[in-house]
């Protein structure tokens, strides 16, 4: 037993995990061979989606070539405002994956998706003057991330009638994620296959839903990456994005984990600060060139920006609302887009 395996929490032994892997492999193979419904694997190239893709790849590669007939699409969405380090990592991974697909005769296609030009972040912010995204005006998520994926999935469904979307979501990621997944279990058509609430004729398959974070890392570290990727480099990427530059594999309620690192758009104003980008700069002098991105994000993250916005809405109309402050009622215009000057 390796040191990493020896550190796994005692709730489930390594032997239990290996046994579960064998069951998952058989489950994936049976589901794949059951019908001709194409699979779509959503991959961000973080730890969970990488582990999911590796699990699927290893299972399908054990099938005879004549049984590898059904198409598996691997899709990644690039918002065009991703953390530059992560963006470079994603492009490298996709290049390796495409090469390995050909060499190993895998029934896969890799696609890097982008938002439509009119829906990109800078067209919204500068071209249309949208204020930087806020919790109550979250205009970026659907345009940059959800729409490109949904458009691809709808095209597959239009051609094939159905699709199975494979995701690396896990119940232990967060309390809210776990609650949502358990609620969807009530509507399952079979084990680990849930209906997609937003896309008709699509089912969601979550093969690692019960894995813990330490098990994800153990799988990535102890099982060889089948397409030639570098899982240790992924581990280093997460460690560099953690404030204390440590990435322990032994996790419980009091132990931090690399799973806490969240990579996203560097312009994101929906969070209080970009902790992963700040940690990268703090932990590596060669990444100090990223500091201006943090400075721009801070400048955009001005909660009271009424003085930088037009008093008219985007189509020229003036809308008023009543404000009640300590019993005094005042009528003010609802601010519209940023002024051209700003």
**Which pLDDT band, with edges at 50, 70 and 90, does 247 fall under?**
very low
pTM across the whole model: 0.84
pLDDT given for residue 8 in this prediction: 42
Residues 38 and 153 in one domain: yes
Tens digits of per-residue pLDDT, 290-335? 999 999 999 898 878 888 899 898 888 998 888 777 778 888 888 8
Query: Given 231, 263, 287, which residue is the final one in a domain?
Result: 231
Domains in the chain, number:
2
**Which pLDDT band, with edges at 50, 70 and 90, does 252 fall under?**
very low
pLDDT given for residue 32 in this prediction: 96
Residues 320 and 216 in one domain: no
Domain that residue 112 falls in: 3-231
HEC assignment per residue over 39-80: EEEECCCCHHHHHHHHHHHHHHHCCCHHHCCCCEEEEEECCC
Strands 202-205, 163-166: pairing kind: parallel
Residues 178 and 325 in one domain: no
DSSP notation for 205-229: E-TTTT--HHHHHHHHHHS--TTS-
Query: Given 188, 208, 231, which residue is the final one in a domain?
Result: 231
User: Is 338 within the bounds of a domain?
Assistant: yes
Query: Given 184, 209, 231, which residue is the final one in a domain?
Result: 231
pLDDT at 6 over 50: no
Residues 313 and 227 in one domain: no
pLDDT given for residue 60 in this prediction: 98
Tens digits of per-residue pLDDT, 132-144? 998 888 999 999 9
CATH number at 87 reads 3.40.50.620
pLDDT given for residue 10 in this prediction: 46
User: Is 266 within the bounds of a domain?
Assistant: no
| Mean residue pLDDT across the chain | 86
pLDDT at 94 over 60: yes
Residues 62 and 159 in one domain: yes
User: Is 271 within the bounds of a domain?
Assistant: no
**Which pLDDT band, with edges at 50, 70 and 90, does 250 fall under?**
very low
User: Is 52 within the bounds of a domain?
Assistant: yes
User: Is 288 within the bounds of a domain?
Assistant: no
- The angle at the Cα of 23, spanning 20 to 29, to the nearest 5 degrees, equals 140
**Across 41-50, 130-139, 189-198, 205-214, least confident range:** 189-198
CA distance 209 to 205: 9
User: Is 296 within the bounds of a domain?
Assistant: no
Residues 102 and 13 in one domain: yes
Tens digits of per-residue pLDDT, 216-225? 999 999 999 9
């Amino acid at each position: 037993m390796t040191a990493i395996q020896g550190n796994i929490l005692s709730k489930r032994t390594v032997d239990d995990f290996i046994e579960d892997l064998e069951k998952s492999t058989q489950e994936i193979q049976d589901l794949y061979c059951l019908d001709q419904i194409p699979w779509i694997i959503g991959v961000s190239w973080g730890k969970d989606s990488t582990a999911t893709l590796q699990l699927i790849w290893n299972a399908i590669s054990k099938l005879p070539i004549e049984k590898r007939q059904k198409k598996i699409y691997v899709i990644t969405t690039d918002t065009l405002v991703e953390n530059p380090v992560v963006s470079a990592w994603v492009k490298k991974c996709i290049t390796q994956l495409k090469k390995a697909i050909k060499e190993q005769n895998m029934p896969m296609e890799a696609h890097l998706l982008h938002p439509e030009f009119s829906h990109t972040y800078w067209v919204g912010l500068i071209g249309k003057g949208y204020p930087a995204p806020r919790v109550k005006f979250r205009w970026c998520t659907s345009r940059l991330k959800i729409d490109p994926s949904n458009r691809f999935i709808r095209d597959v469904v239009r051609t094939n009638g159905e699709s199975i979307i494979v995701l690396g979501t896990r119940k232990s990621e967060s309390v809210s994620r776990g609650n949502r997944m358990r609620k969807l279990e009530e509507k399952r058509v079979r084990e680990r296959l849930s209906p997609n609430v937003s896309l008709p004729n699509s089912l969601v398959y979550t093969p690692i839903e019960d894995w813990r974070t330490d098990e994800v890392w153990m799988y990535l570290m102890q099982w060889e990456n089948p397409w030639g990727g570098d899982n240790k480099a992924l581990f280093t990427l997460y460690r560099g994005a953690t404030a204390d530059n440590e990435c322990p594999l032994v996790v419980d309620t009091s132990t931090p984990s690399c799973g806490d690192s969240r990579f996203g758009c560097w312009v994101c104003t929906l969070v209080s600060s970009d902790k992963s980008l700040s940690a990268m700069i703090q932990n590596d002098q060669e990444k100090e060139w990223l500091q201006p991105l943090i400075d721009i994000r801070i400048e955009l993250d001005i909660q009271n920006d009424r003085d930088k916005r037009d008093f008219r809405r985007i189509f020229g109309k003036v809308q008023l609302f009543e404000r009640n402050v300590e019993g005094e009622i005042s009528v003010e215009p609802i601010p519209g887009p940023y002024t051209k000057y700003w």
